[in-house]
Every structure is written in structure tokens, then in C-alpha cells.
């Protein structure tokens, strides 16, 4: 995600939409694809998100639609494994991962 120009605000808005059920595709294994708000349908950024549709939303990958159309099956399989690991973490483990710089936390206030 660090190579995209997506702002925390646009990611938080995407979470708001996903909470309302607005996802572009359910990819299985707790993975969804979401177009980032404020961009056109045929161009703009897409994000791959691991979520339990509750209190955990992990933006795993972002890409510009004009750079690539989608992720590969192998990438999806790898992202599903990462999603399983991330969604299994308890609050202490998440806090530690953020403190170690392994995860970047954005604040979503709904």
C-alpha cells in the first residue's frame, strides 16, 4: 500500500462503504476488493482488504487500475494466507506489530 497515493481519509471512507456492504468483489478467505472512493470507475485505485467485517480492516495491497487490471491467482492465494494470520492476531499482538513498524495503523472514527 505504501506505493500508492491513497490518503488515510480515502481509506477510512472506503471502510465506511464496506461496513455498509459496498464492496466490489468478495474474493473468498476474508478478502474483498474495493474501489477507493473519489476516483472514476474505469481508472483509479483498487484495494485488496482482509476483514472480519467487524473491527478489523487490513489494507493488504493497492494498485492503480491503469497499471494492472487485477491480481493473479497466486497473489490471491498468498493474500488469503496473510489475511488468516492477521485476522487471528489478538489486540496485544496487533499493538506490538504497530509498535514494531510491521503494521501501520490508521484511525477510523465512525
pLDDT on residue 107:
76
Q: How many CB atoms lie within 10 A of CB 32?
A: 19
CA neighbor of 56 nearest in space, from 1, 108, 3? 108
Average pLDDT over residues 81-99: 96
Residue-wise pLDDT for 65-89, tens only, equals 777 878 999 999 999 999 999 999 9
* Integer Cα distance of 84 and 97 in angstroms: 16
Amino acid at each position: 500500500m505504501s506505493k500508492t497515493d491513497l490518503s488515510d481519509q480515502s481509506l477510512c471512507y472506503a471502510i465506511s462503504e464496506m461496513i455498509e456492504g459496498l464492496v466490489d468483489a468478495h474474493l473468498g478467505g476474508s478478502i474483498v476488493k474495493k474501489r477507493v472512493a473519489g476516483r472514476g470507475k474505469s481508472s483509479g485505485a483498487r484495494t485488496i482488504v482482509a476483514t472480519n467485517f467487524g473491527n478489523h480492516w487490513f489494507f493488504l495491497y493497492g494498485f492503480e487500475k491503469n497499471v494492472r487490471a487485477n491480481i493473479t491467482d497466486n497473489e490471491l492465494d498468498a493474500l488469503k494466507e496473510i489475511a488468516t494470520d492477521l485476522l487471528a492476531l489478538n489486540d496485544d499482538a496487533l499493538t506490538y506489530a504497530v509498535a514494531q513498524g510491521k503494521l501501520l495503523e490508521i484511525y477510523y472514527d465512525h
